[in-house]
Amino acid sequence: MVSTQEKNNIANPKAVQSSNRPPRVSHSRRFGKPVTTIKTVACLRIPNFPWQVEVARKPELGDQSLIVAGKALDLIEDQEIRETGSGALSARVVIAASPDLTEVSSGMPLAEAIARHRDVQVVEADIPLYGMVFDEIVENLERLVPDIEVAAPGLAYVGIWGLEGLYGDDANVVRLLASTVDSFDLRIGVGENKWLAYAASLLSRANSGRKVTGEPGKFLDKFPVDALPIPYELVKRLHSFGLKTMGHIADIPRGPMEAQFGPNGGTAWELANGIDHRPLMPKRSALGVSEHLDFPDPTVSMATILPAVESLLDRAYGRPQLSNRFARHANLQAQVFQKTPWTMRVGFKNPVGNKNKALFAIKSKLDTAEIPGPLEDMRITLSGITGEAGRQESMWLEVKRDDDLRETISQLRSRLKVAPPVYQVRELEPWSRIPERRFALIQMSGSDG
């Protein structure tokens, strides 16, 4: 629902700029007086997060001009790539760039960025890694605040309303949030909505916060349009029309903006006026069990990959979280030698409560999957864990023997406090000319809890 005040504001954007946009007000009938329900949002932004992760991984990159490039997450563009048959240079975009490349912005086509800086080094984006690193940060934050929305790796919104009684005022909350992230250059912005919080974070200094107070229109007036979360092509078009700051957009009525630039033009107009109706969508924590191993050598051989999958499933189903419970899907992730990481998701037809059935489903999918190159490691995450606790013992001797062995290993682990060194000899590549590639000992229990 759009309030009358907002309708007036849309009809007369100048009014928005010249007067404070009133906070959303809900009238409490019980007490007969209005109660303000401003939901203050903090934006946690790690600028150039992929670049920061790459530098953290390889510190020698810190002194170099670097572009982290990846595939544009645009369906239309993907379709074009499929039609042309190959991933052309123009299909890739800049995900992040080192701070010295001031003319390069994220979303810019890679070809354009390279044309501006010829000697720049290009690194392929490792999106799963960025996600994993940021998940760790978010996990730390979740110990302090419950409502966290992860918008992208390096960008999260935190609902900080109602925390005054617990942590004090906004400044204290910001200080607390900043203290949880000590390894990255973190910027925090606080505002009445997600966009204002994001805009405030653009002006904040390293590991500190900034809050939008007073008139949002005035605050945003001098902001460049490049800061808008809209497609790069639209930013270029706005520039070509001479619309270089938010103030320029806010001076135009919404209608002409939408007529010229489509729905994104309307979005740009709203944001330029400090209006953002997007709700905070907190992350739903899902219970999952994850296991990981490194391959001795990068491999594409199913003879090596399948025993690894089996070993990981064995370990995963041996974990207490999955004890007598079932998983609905499995996610396989792997680093690929000199290529972007590979992921595969396997949904089980029925929830699966043992290794063999899960292996059968994964194997069926692997048979038809195209592995992009030699895999360096593998991680399996079983998720969608159900609440069933029933289990029927098998009358078949072989299954029972496996169960007994697993039970014994479990008891040994609890007694020794470490994973017992129980291994199984498995064929890897028995045809290999290199003897150490033929067989391996695969641990029957995980090395960690």
Please give the residue ranges that form the binding site for another protein (CB under 8 A). 52-53, 55-57, 59, 133, 182-185, 292-297, 308, 311, 315, 376-377, 423, 425, 433-443, 446-447
- Picking from 419, 379, 417, 442, the residue whose alpha carbon sits closest to that of residue 128 is 379
Which of 360/423 has CB closer to another protein?
A: 423
Which of 103/136 has CB closer to another protein?
A: 136
Which of 11/405 has CB closer to another protein?
A: 405
Minimum CB distance to another protein, residue 185 (Å): 7
- Cβ atoms of 153 and 131 closer than 8 Å: yes
- Picking from 166, 234, 151, the residue whose alpha carbon sits closest to that of residue 198 is 151
Minimum CB distance to another protein, residue 296 (Å): 5
- Tokens representing 9? 């504001």
Minimum CB distance to another protein, residue 265 (Å): 37
- Picking from 125, 51, 58, the residue whose alpha carbon sits closest to that of residue 93 is 125
**Under 8 Å CB-to-CB from 375, ≥6 apart: which residues?**
295, 298, 299, 300, 305, 334, 335, 336, 337, 342
Which of 265/341 has CB closer to another protein?
A: 341
Q: Which helix (H) or strand (E) holds 41?
A: strand 41-45
Minimum CB distance to another protein, residue 321 (Å): 19
In whole angstroms, what is the distance from residue 420 CA to residue 95 CA? 44
Minimum CB distance to another protein, residue 95 (Å): 17
Minimum CB distance to another protein, residue 113 (Å): 22
CA dihedral 260, 264, 265, 268 (to 10 degrees): -160
Q: Which helix (H) or strand (E) holds 142?
A: helix 127-142
Query: Which amino acid type is present at position 395?
Result: M
Which of 52/245 has CB closer to another protein?
A: 52
Which of 5/410 has CB closer to another protein?
A: 410
Which of 56/405 has CB closer to another protein?
A: 56
* Residues counted in the chain: 449
Please report how the helices 355-368 and 302-318 are oriented relative to each other, as an axis angle in degrees rounded to 10: 150
Minimum CB distance to another protein, residue 440 (Å): 5
In whole angstroms, what is the distance from residue 180 CA to residue 138 CA? 9
